[in-house]
Amino acid sequence: MQSVRPSRLPEAAPADAYDIWAQSYDNQPDNLMLALDEQLCGQLLDKVLSPGKLIADVGCGTGRHWQKLYDLEPSRLVGYDVSSGMLDRLRAKYPRAETYLVNGVHLSQLDTAGCDLILSTLTIAHIPDLRAALTEWIRVLRPGGDMIITDYHPAALSRGGQRTFREGQRVIAVRNHIYPIGKIRRICRQLGLREQNFIERKIDDTMRHYYEKQGALPLFERFAGVPIIYGLHLRKSDAAE
């Protein structure tokens, strides 16, 4: 007998969904994706962070990683997001933050080849045109500059996984695009990015308690062994190479 896949929730546009989510986004101690992203992002950033860098955070949200970035006294830290609600929350925490609301892929406030590090966490599956976005990020990245990406794993998305949150009695899903890891790597190579590191985490028993607290053990059983998040460290080719 053919198994029946659970029905999917209709997905809201990222800007609309995150405007709603912004009010509770920083108060999610039992959010598995945020916990895993903190681990992966920290592991990847440890290899590239040093004082005095110009850093752009694309999809910065509420600035979850900004304290560790500010601690290294960057020459400039610039945040971009599609959600005005998320940016409002970021500026409430960091009143002097330089942030911009974006509609599309252009980072017009950044000069060509002027950025030392592009950071983008839990974001690229929300972007309709990945190649266009990466092309713009590479434009502003200096030769030899670094790019750190983390996101919901396409293997989970392709099995019906959704990025959801609860707002009152509603469960809201955010629109995602499925970019297989092989496609991401191919685009990056074509655009002159060299892969430095790749990390992925699969759903395993160490994560069971997150699902138990949400009353979602059937979801745990369904996705056990499936990669749920990945992280990439990429480097723009140096003109001298």
Q: Name all domains of the chain by residue range, CATH numbers in brackets.
A: 11-236 (3.40.50.150)
Mean pLDDT over all residues of the chain?
A: 93
Cα–Cα dist 172/12, whole Å: 7
Give residue-wise pLDDT tens across range 34-65: 999 999 999 999 989 899 999 999 999 999 99
Range of lowest pLDDT (7-11, 83-87, 200-204): 7-11
Number of CB atoms found within 10 A of residue 146's CB: 24
User: For residue 169, what pLDDT is reported?
Assistant: 87
Read off the DSSP letter of residue 35: H
Give residue-wise pLDDT tens across range 82-91: 999 999 999 9
Q: How far is CA 160 from CA 9, 163, 237, in A?
A: 10, 10, 36
- Residues 20-45 as b/e (b if ≥16 CB within 10 A, e otherwise) read bbbeebbeeeeebbeebbeebbeebb
Name the packing angle between helices 130-140 and 181-190 (round to 10°).
40
Answer whether residue 14 shows pLDDT above 60.
yes
- Name residue 120's beta-bridge partners: 149
Give residue-wise pLDDT tens across range 225-240: 999 999 999 999 885 5
